Amino acid sequence: MDRRKFIKLTSSAGAAIALAKIAAVGATESKKQAPVVTKDSADQQHMDAMQQYAELTGGAKLTIGMLVYPGMFLQDLVGPLAVFESLMNRDIHLVWKDINPVGNEKPEHPVLIPIKPTTTFKDCPKNLDVLFVPGGVPGTFTIMEDPEVLMFLAEQSKTARYITSVCTGSLILGAAGLLNGYKATSHWSTLDVLSELGAIPTKERIVVDRNRITGGGVTAGIDFGLKIASLLRNENYAKAVQLYLEYNPEPPFDAGTPEKAPKEVAQFLNDMFSGMVETAKQTAKRAKKRLS
């Protein structure tokens, strides 16, 4: 490749747009979409760029479906989304019952950032490469008993390549009957609740069991996203995304698990969460009963 041409290609519009352009050309390997015909010399430059960095830019078209719902925790969604959006040649759907913004159903607890779904359950494509469920309490508990959502997840799971969650999203997967006999993780506070749903609670940041991939609490979504990126593309591709997102974490404190946190801090959150955990257990028991 002529490197100067590649630089020119990316010079005006910024990296994000350049990535998007290359992504469009990357569709030539798509299993779901006809090859994109190059129309002009700019497209030819993209093809040249593709050739040098094929390992870091190529790959079949990906279709990713991310559930959004009232009461979810925004970072649970946005962490994996930041990774998925950094992949080229992909469609991402934010899926819900309808396309009205979710988040402000309870005027007494308004959220700062309501999310407008892009796609309804009915219109969501089948054969998703990734089916993803974020967590967020107390929204999780409502969804664990929402037949329309559980049916959507169960149906999509039949054709999805990876069935995934972050944080308490695993309780929703479990309530849909999708973690029975699978190792899985959740937010540390609700890890044990997974056993009520037939899953095998596994205390790891990212748990991969066959095609189920679950991440720990909230911020685990970035680690989780990069793991999935490596499976969807390859390890060097995931590393390119990691560098793009400058994911070289340096937490100013080392208190991210109950074992590492000061005793008083862990006790505070255990006290704070204890009622929530009890609600999670009762909800999980009812969900399991419905499944059997």
Task: Name which of residues 21 to 40 contact its own copies (CB under 8 A).
Answer: none
DSSP secondary structure of 215-246: E-STTHHHHHHHHHHHHHS-HHHHHHHHHHTT
Q: Hey, which residues does 96 pair with through a beta bridge?
A: 120
The residue from 7, 32, 127, 181 that contacts its own copies (CB under 8 A) is 7
What string marks each residue from 148 to 187 as x (binds its own copies by CB under 8 A) or -? -------------------x-------------------x
Judge contact between 184 and 192, C-beta under 8 A: no
For 284, the token pair is 């999980």
Q: Hey, which residues does 93 pair with through a beta bridge?
A: 65
Which positions from 85 through 104 interact with its own copies, judged by CB under 8 A? 85, 92, 94
Minimal distance, residue 240 CB to its own copies, in Å? 5
Judge contact between 135 and 170, C-beta under 8 A: yes
DSSP secondary structure of 6-39: HHHHHHTT-HHHHHHHHHHHHGGG-SSSPPPPP-
Contact call for residue 286 and its own copies (CB under 8 A): no
Nearer to its own copies, 147 or 252 (CB): 252
Contact call for residue 123 and its own copies (CB under 8 A): no
Question: Any residues with CB less than 8 A from the CB of 154 and at least 6 apart, and which?
Answer: 176, 177, 178
Active-site residue flag, 124: no
Nearer to its own copies, 111 or 154 (CB): 111
The residue from 169, 217, 232, 283 that contacts its own copies (CB under 8 A) is 217
Nearer to its own copies, 78 or 291 (CB): 78
Judge contact between 179 and 197, C-beta under 8 A: yes
Span near its own copies by CB under 8 A; candidates 15-23, 25-33, 147-155, 283-291: 15-23
**Active site residues per annotation:** 167
